Structure 1
């Protein structure tokens, strides 16, 4: 749930958008061949060995085999929040995910699927069908019971009955009428919170009951702080261009048109037809809701690491933290000081995949502690505790499904633990464990813990999770295996003004580092694994273009954030007759 994005565009490789009007782009194979032909030998440092850093290192090593690449990771292990833990229980073993657990194949997911194929991980992929209980049954807990969200498989009568009788949907009909009648925002408004936008257009009840639940599942965030322009860009665009979301959708349908975010155009150009995937893999994904791996999502990071350690031009340095990055104007290199050496190392380019505030802290002028890119230090994040529990009783869930989310409107006495949601892992990823049972993940905290100086420890977290399951699901059995992980500052919060801050960060990086320092990761243009994989690949290609250039200099304007300026907004694609 934490990874699911909203406001998605159509599936780009299973249901391709017609691309006749799009300029053709070079194939990946031609791009790799051109870059690999470079004979330059230069040094690149990658800060952070999470999924973004590992992906960047993989593609950079592949595209520039003569470059020397050093990956620095402050911790002992790689993969960032993607950690899969095997636990032995009587009769076999089970898998606990400390972070994300499933991926979606749409949009930026096309890049991940290509990577999976390149890494030969296809045999390990486990697909959850759109017809599975996990895909068809998703719940919200309100005010004191589970409410199944409408789905075509439930039938029209049941869906209508739920919409009429369940309090969580109260105000839904008025919301639709109000959305159509509501005047568009003032042209002077440059951004707005998710909560304010949808309260204005749909009403407070729908916003607090439904929208906040979705945001708890994806960002663990406060809807009255998160940016609607960044997180619901299509809704923001439709209101501006057509006067409202429903009005815009109606007009587009009448014109046989769709909208496409400009940042997604390169993905549509490269992967629109889906021919990049092996036929059997495409067939398996044709009706996929989500997918994972037999060994958990952590196996993607581990496989990348295994490939990298066998590359002659890649060096992995764990337990080595970046301490400072310095660049002198017009210098051919950029300096990195790290915990593994008393001296500084010189690089032709540095890619930072660290959280933005960490990057801001190490990017200071040599003679002061003033950050050179202060805008990167303005992106907050939230802490989430992930609690895994396994029970031997395989029938603890009365209605199989993916799990449930808790909105901000749930009464306090129903959620004093500040739970965000519960995943029914036995149905979300049913084929990983070797023994039957019921497996759950309870997510606690997020924005509810903002400002806290201390957090629950593991034992307290497990006790809180058990209380949540007892109150909400009536589960009083004792789990035979538990695991709690406190993920500090794990989910960046794209708060109001995020895009403006990213534009400023781009300008600061452009003027201060002249292309020598580039950034990528979940702090900027998407918090999901798929977003990070694409960001890692894109920044690697950017560096490769510089390394293969005539003078080996990095393209000054390419900072990793240039898309916030170059690819802002949407385009309208007309699929029928041309607009008059």
Structure 2
């Protein structure tokens, strides 16, 4: 949270609502920092881990296969990723950490052109020249050359849409709808015509605010590469709070920066499962699954708070409550106690993302020229299937190398197979302000059309594959214009009404949209409370 939080009293009682990685890691950090307090981690579903789900099942031949039905990789350049990997080392799971190297086939990325053909994202002079010849690059060169000479905004600091910001800086709409909208589809599943530039493009936004131009900011800002490597402020806090060895942590941070992405053997869910197991063994943590919180109430004695559970149970005498769900879900829990705050929270909507897994054993049907991480679909594409992007899981998995063990000691499987994940929906599901979810059968047919048209995969191979559809409902908050001001107003009201006894976490309140971001946010707040 942006606001300060008071230190917890001795032997305090804490409830953490929601056991995605935000709730799990907040509980993990706080339990270690304050072994005297009692933590109740409450989850409405029968499993923990939230949207991270590595589904272990059997294929058509009754052979085991793992399908990622949520996030599958982590950014190497991230404080939150360092926290994750260091936690896995502490939990004796370091051998599960895998990396994709910068020169790996899986680090190649593509975009879907306006003609439904894949275009490689530039990684060399040759691929840059090829990209510039594609219609997607229209307006890019003139936009970049003219950007330093375009005037600063008339109202500095005032938020605007991503498309408006890009139009001002690059002098056209093409850079946004042809190129950068694809990236926003991959990260947020949302429409650049409605998203907050200040929230989702903070680094570029800050460069314009400070230097009057993005390009001038890039060239004038001192990179500090000649300085001796040091821990970031967050990792310094972590080192001090947990008594970590500075050299070891610095070496880990520096090492992970070499890798564009990381993964885990057995799937990304290896991480929340390891943390859950650690919490199960913690004497001051109680994990309660299948329990949904219906409301938060002040104790009649005005000392602490109570949680009313939908099963009829009541958890009493709580000194602090951590809420990690979407703003809309949090609003329902606060409605009885603070209607005005609940209405403010309910303003934030969230996108549904449809994930479609395709697995074909015995054949690799991804053409060699297209092998990479996958491709994203920009808003300039006609896109009748409402596609956001496609991830080439089998290419990524074959590119993984262990981080902490000798690469030579690990032999990769030579068995041919194809594994893909299509992402659909997001803002495309909204019609007249209401979400419209297609059936699983219609969704699979749409993805078959996409893979046949974009990648040339035969109908026979598509029909022979294993298919699975997952709908991640309300998984990504919609960061609309003014979001930062909205968050500030919500946190100020929480501080005013509850004196720091209620804090919020998760994607709706973290500094960034990814798994590492919500974990970094949880660490900061756990340290404040401890």
- 1:505 aligned onto 2:490: yes
CA pair 183-403 structure 1, distance change in 2 beyond 3 A: same
Aligned partners of 1:398, 1:364: CA distance in 2, in Å?
Answer: 55
Contact 1:349 1:543 (8 Å CA) reproduced: no
Alignment-derived partner of residue 84 in structure 1:
54
Q: 1:494 Cα shift? A: 1.3
Aligned partners of 1:176, 1:425: CA distance in 2, in Å?
Answer: 34
Contact 1:45 1:350 (8 Å CA) reproduced: yes
Q: 1:328 Cα shift? A: 6.6
| C-alpha RMSD of matched pairs (Å) | 2.7
- 1:492 aligned onto 2:460: no
CA pair 256-540 structure 1, distance change in 2 beyond 3 A: closer
Alignment-derived partner of residue 360 in structure 1:
331
Contact 1:192 1:229 (8 Å CA) reproduced: yes
Question: Which of 390, 405, 411 lines up with 2:359 in the alignment?
Answer: 390
SS at the partner of 1:486? strand
Alignment-derived partner of residue 3 in structure 2:
none
Contact 2:157 2:209 (8 Å CA) reproduced: no
Aligned partners of 1:233, 1:283: CA distance in 2, in Å?
Answer: 24
Question: Which of 74, 89, 107 lines up with 1:135 in the alignment?
Answer: 107
CA pair 386-247 structure 1, distance change in 2 beyond 3 A: same
Alignment-derived partner of residue 336 in structure 1:
307
Q: After the TM superposition, which residues 396-407 of structure 1 pair with which residues of structure 2 at under 5 Å, given as runs?
A: 396-399=366-369, 400-407=371-378
Contact 2:110 2:118 (8 Å CA) reproduced: no
Q: 1:443 Cα shift? A: 0.5
The number of residues matched between the two structures is 492
* Gaps in structure 2 of 5+ consecutive residues: 1-6, 227-231, 401-411
* Gaps in structure 1 of 5+ consecutive residues: 1-34, 259-263, 545-580
Question: Which of 259, 275, 285 lines up with 1:288 in the alignment?
Answer: 259
Q: After the TM superposition, which residues 31-50 of structure 1 pair with which residues of structure 2 at under 5 Å, given as runs?
A: 40-50=10-20
Q: 1:230 Cα shift? A: 0.9
- The alignment's TM-score, normalised by the length of structure 2, stands at 0.87
SS at the partner of 1:320? coil
Contact 1:208 1:407 (8 Å CA) reproduced: yes
Aligned partners of 1:141, 1:438: CA distance in 2, in Å?
Answer: 23
Contact 1:406 1:421 (8 Å CA) reproduced: yes
Question: Which of 505, 514, 518 lines up with 2:503 in the alignment?
Answer: 518
SS at the partner of 1:372? helix
Alignment-derived partner of residue 321 in structure 1:
292
SS at the partner of 2:385? coil
Aligned partners of 1:361, 1:282: CA distance in 2, in Å?
Answer: 40
Aligned partners of 2:522, 2:248: CA distance in 1, in Å?
Answer: 19
SS at the partner of 1:288? coil
SS at the partner of 2:503? strand
Contact 2:234 2:524 (8 Å CA) reproduced: no
- The alignment's TM-score, normalised by the length of structure 1, stands at 0.79
CA pair 380-268 structure 1, distance change in 2 beyond 3 A: farther
Alignment-derived partner of residue 438 in structure 2:
456
Contact 1:357 1:378 (8 Å CA) reproduced: yes
Q: 1:455 Cα shift? A: 1.0
SS at the partner of 1:429? helix
Aligned partners of 2:94, 2:70: CA distance in 1, in Å?
Answer: 21
Give CA deviations for 1:314-344 in whole Å, capped at 9, x if unaligned. Answer: 1111110011112379933112111243445
Aligned partners of 1:539, 1:216: CA distance in 2, in Å?
Answer: 30
Q: 1:514 Cα shift? A: 0.6
Aligned partners of 2:55, 2:389: CA distance in 1, in Å?
Answer: 21
Alignment-derived partner of residue 448 in structure 2:
466
